[in-house]
């Protein structure tokens, strides 16, 4: 909590950090809530109250510049947690609480900890504590429309009053410093949101909470998001996916993810896809995976026999992307749905990416061996220059840079062209072979140019994916409709990010908008914190890593601060809000590699979210994607072949 929620957001005072590390927050929450003690949020306490978010408490301490030897007054003790932490920093804490039941419970907790320099008092916070004044700092944990003169007068000269001032929607957190007997200065700290400070003492239960509602430029943006969005139910169940029926009239629906290793992104896309296929006539599921590997999944869901001695698909790093616990039940559901649909309405599963040269060459040769043995012999000769590099085609790219090294481009392109011409005859096997040949041709060039750096290799890869999607739609006919699963960096329009504006890159989402216009819906997915499956380096082992809570200057923080744990926001339906969200902000991108230690530079990039996507699905806390247990023996069980289970 101290590292990721407080220090990571800019609190540097070692005394504050040490105090938060010392005080056991779990004793300030109700029994049964201990497992959530250190989450980045307010939590319920007794009498239907809440204990405030740790960061905002630390922010107020930092603004008050509390230090050893200070005498401090806290107005609004609540659970007693803030007062307890404060007592580990300063000489003496007096904390006033207007609700008797809360004051009694807070005092008991403080006594249990043995913090003798901390006093909890039942009283009216607006009156302050005259007999104990003056104070070096006064902290007010509830909002007022103006700064109370009474509290200002109870400051020592040089003392600081930190208080939220404003109306019901939002307040400005202010630091007021007493500079003389009748002189004060003030400075604004941040936009926040607190409950009101009321007069008097009450014995009955009340309602209290404080949460951080910061934004970069507009105080009410988190609340505006909360008002405009559609809150979503749990992902399990058809009611979640029903919210995405608004995009059922599109020809292409692209579903993103801000990391390749998050369970909820896969589960959400699976639920949405099942509904769009079963109820709305979508016939193509196209993913950021390789064509020959996806073909095994395709054969499974259409009930087609797998080739003899076929290799298990998706064995290339990172295997967890498409061999995970979400995929078997998802593909099984698609297979069952297909069994109820006429042949022309059945869904297929296809890979858009270009990495698997070896699998595509094997598929091409297998097709030609069966249909044209003479062409197969020619193809083997043409692909001969790639044979030494099939297990690691990146080595081919490096060798191709050397002077005098013969490139394979001419031969593989010739093979591609011939198979594409055959595919015009509308033979299903020929079409698949042609797509594999396209992959080999694209991948050959991709691996050859990747060593030059720059945008060309990225652009080639996304152009290949866009072209493959276009071929699938053409092959499916006028009524074909596609769902695409890919990372936000591929499906969010590159022109609205640093990719296009700075690096000159285009991507799948941009190309789709250029080709199909309003028939495309680009839906991004985001999260605030949790865990993720990722590696530390390319081709490294899978690790479960904690996702650092999002930065204060990011889009993710705006959505976290809105307080809705799951939501869908359609930007086109809310033009005024979209305009306000169009100031560039940081957006987080986690791929198969995650490096928390350099997260700002490794995983954040500037973007304009409402231009990047048509809609945004927010899942505040998410969990690591679980890979399948390895089990490679699929002999005799072809019906479960894709996973060997």
Cβ-based neighbours of 421, under 8 Å, separated by 6 or more: none
Residue tagged 């103006």 (tokens): 146
- Alpha carbon 30 to chain centroid distance? 30
Per-residue tokens: 242: 């029903």
Q: What is the dihedral of CA 405, 406, 408, 414, to 10 degrees?
A: 160
Q: Are residues 135 and 7 in the same domain?
A: yes
- Alpha carbon 426 to chain centroid distance? 41
Q: Are residues 84 and 6 in the same domain?
A: yes
Mean per-residue pLDDT for 380-386? 54
Q: Are residues 248 and 368 in the same domain?
A: no
Tell me, what DSSP letter sits at residue 54? Answer: H
Mean per-residue pLDDT for 409-436? 57
Going by C-alpha positions, the residue among 274, 305, 256, 439 that lies closest to residue 364 is: 439
pLDDT for 278? 95
Q: Are residues 362 and 271 in the same domain?
A: no
When pLDDT is cut at 50, 70 and 90, the band that residue 636 belongs to is very low
Per-residue tokens: 335: 């297979």
Mean per-residue pLDDT for 41-54? 71
Burial 582-616, CB ≥16 within 10 A → b, else e: eebbbbbbbbbbbebeebeeebbeebbbbbbbbbb
Tell me, what DSSP letter sits at residue 268? Answer: H
Residue tagged 């959530």 (tokens): 36
pLDDT in tens, 62-111: 999 999 999 999 998 989 999 999 999 999 999 998 888 888 889 999 99
Q: Are residues 523 and 406 in the same domain?
A: no
- pTM of the predicted model as reported, rounded to 2 decimal places: 0.60
Of 30-44, 424-438, 483-497, the least confident? 424-438
Going by C-alpha positions, the residue among 437, 612, 620 that lies closest to residue 528 is: 620
The CATH number covering residue 178 comes to 3.40.50.150
Say how far apart CA 534 and CA 71 lie, in whole Å. 48
When pLDDT is cut at 50, 70 and 90, the band that residue 43 belongs to is confident
Better pLDDT: 377 or 637? 377
Better pLDDT: 324 or 390? 324
Domain boundary among 177, 195, 213: 213
Residue tagged 């072979």 (tokens): 433
The answer to whether 165 and 143 are in contact (CB under 8 A) is yes
Domain boundary among 413, 448, 480: 480
When pLDDT is cut at 50, 70 and 90, the band that residue 618 belongs to is very high
Better pLDDT: 609 or 220? 609
Q: Are residues 393 and 496 in the same domain?
A: no
Domain boundary among 480, 514, 532: 480
pLDDT for 381? 59
Domain residues for the domain of 393 are 354-480
Cβ-based neighbours of 375, under 8 Å, separated by 6 or more: 368, 418
pLDDT in tens, 543-562: 999 999 999 899 999 999 99
What does the DSSP assignment read for 490-509? Answer: HHS-GGGBHHHHTT----HH
Q: Are residues 38 and 177 in the same domain?
A: yes
Which of 18, 52, 87, 207 is labelled catalytic?
52
Q: Are residues 70 and 183 in the same domain?
A: yes
Cβ-based neighbours of 377, under 8 Å, separated by 6 or more: none
Checking if the pLDDT of 400 tops 60, the result is no
Number of domains in the chain: 3
The answer to whether 95 and 74 are in contact (CB under 8 A) is yes
Look up 87 and say whether it is catalytic: no
Q: Are residues 511 and 364 in the same domain?
A: no
The CATH number covering residue 317 comes to 3.40.1660.10
When pLDDT is cut at 50, 70 and 90, the band that residue 167 belongs to is confident
Q: Are residues 399 and 359 in the same domain?
A: yes
Mean per-residue pLDDT for 509-523? 96
Residue tagged 């699929």 (tokens): 634
Q: Are residues 343 and 235 in the same domain?
A: yes
pLDDT for 194? 75
Q: Are residues 110 and 256 in the same domain?
A: no
CB neighbours of residue 21 within 10 Å: 13
Per-residue tokens: 85: 């932490």
């Amino acid at each position: 909590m101290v590292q990721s929620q407080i220090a990571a957001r800019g609190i540097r005072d070692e005394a504050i950090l040490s105090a938060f590390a010392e005080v056991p927050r779990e004793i300030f929450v109700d029994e049964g809530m201990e497992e959530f003690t250190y989450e980045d949020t307010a939590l319920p306490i007794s009498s239907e109250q809440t204990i405030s978010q740790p960061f905002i408490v630390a922010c107020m301490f930092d603004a008050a510049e509390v230090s050893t030897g200070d005498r401090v007054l806290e107005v609004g003790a609540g659970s007693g947690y803030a007062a307890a932490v404060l007592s580990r920093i300063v000489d003496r804490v007096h904390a006033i609480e207007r609700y008797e039941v809360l004051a009694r419970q807070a005092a008991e907790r403080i006594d249990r900890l043995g913090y003798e320099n901390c006093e909890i008092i039942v009283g009216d916070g607006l009156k302050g504590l005259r007999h104990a004044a003056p104070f070096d700092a006064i902290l007010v944990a509830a909002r007022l429309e103006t700064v109370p003169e009474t509290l200002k007068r109870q400051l020592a000269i040089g003392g600081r009053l930190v208080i939220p001032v404003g109306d019901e929607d939002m307040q400005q957190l202010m630091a007021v410093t007493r500079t003389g007997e009748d002189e004060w200065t003030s400075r604004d700290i941040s936009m926040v949101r607190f409950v009101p400070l009321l007069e008097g003492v009450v014995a009955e239960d009340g309602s209290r909470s404080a949460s951080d509602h910061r934004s970069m430029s507009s105080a009410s943006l988190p609340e505006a998001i909360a008002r405009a969005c559609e809150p979503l139910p749990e992902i399990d169940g058809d009611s979640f996916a029903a919210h995405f029926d608004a995009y059922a009239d599109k020809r292409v629906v692209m579903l993103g993810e801000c990391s390749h290793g998050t369970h909820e992104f896969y589960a959400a896309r699976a639920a949405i896809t099942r509904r769009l296929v079963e109820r709305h006539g979508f016939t193509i599921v196209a993913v950021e995976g390789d064509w020959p590997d996806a073909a095994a999944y395709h054969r499974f869901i259409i009930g087609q026999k797998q080739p003899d001695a076929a290799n298990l698909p998706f064995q290339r790093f990172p295997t967890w992307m498409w061999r995970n616990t979400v995929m078997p039940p998802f593909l099984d559901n698609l297979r069952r749905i297909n069994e109820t649909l006429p042949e022309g309405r059945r869904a297929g599963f296809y890979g858009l990416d270009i990495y698997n040269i070896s699998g595509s060459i094997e598929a091409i040769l297998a097709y030609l061996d069966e249909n044209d043995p003479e062409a197969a012999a020619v193809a083997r000769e043409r692909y001969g220059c790639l044979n030494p590099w099939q297990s690691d085609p990146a080595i081919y790219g490096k060798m191709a840079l050397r002077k005098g090294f013969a490139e394979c481009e001419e031969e593989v392109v010739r093979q591609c062209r011939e198979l594409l011409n055959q595919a015009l005859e509308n033979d299903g096997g020929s079409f698949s072979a042609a797509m594999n040949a396209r992959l080999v041709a694209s991948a050959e060039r991709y691996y050859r140019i990747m060593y030059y750096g720059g945008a060309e290799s990225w652009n080639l890869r996304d152009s290949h994916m866009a072209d493959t999607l276009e071929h699938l739609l053409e092959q499916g006919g006028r009524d074909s409709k596609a769902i695409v699963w890919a990372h936000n960096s591929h499906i969010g329009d590159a022109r609205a990010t640093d990719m296009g504006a700075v690096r000159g890159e285009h991507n799948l989402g941009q190309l789709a908008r250029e080709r199909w216009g309003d028939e495309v819906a680009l839906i991004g997915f985001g999260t605030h914190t949790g865990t993720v499956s990722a590696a530390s380096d390319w081709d490294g082992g899978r690790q479960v890593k904690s996702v650092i809570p999002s930065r204060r200057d990011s889009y993710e923080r705006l959505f976290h601060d809105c307080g809705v744990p799951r939501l869908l926001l359609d930007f086109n339906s809310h033009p005024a809000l979209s305009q306000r969200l169009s100031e560039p902000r940081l957006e987080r991108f986690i791929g198969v590699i995650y490096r928390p230690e350099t997260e700002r530079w490794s995983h954040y990039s500037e973007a304009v979210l409402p231009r990047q996507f048509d809609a945004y699905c927010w899942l505040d806390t998410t969990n690591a994607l679980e890979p399948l247990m390895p089990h490679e023996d699929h002999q005799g069980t072809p019906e479960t072949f894709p996973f060997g289970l």
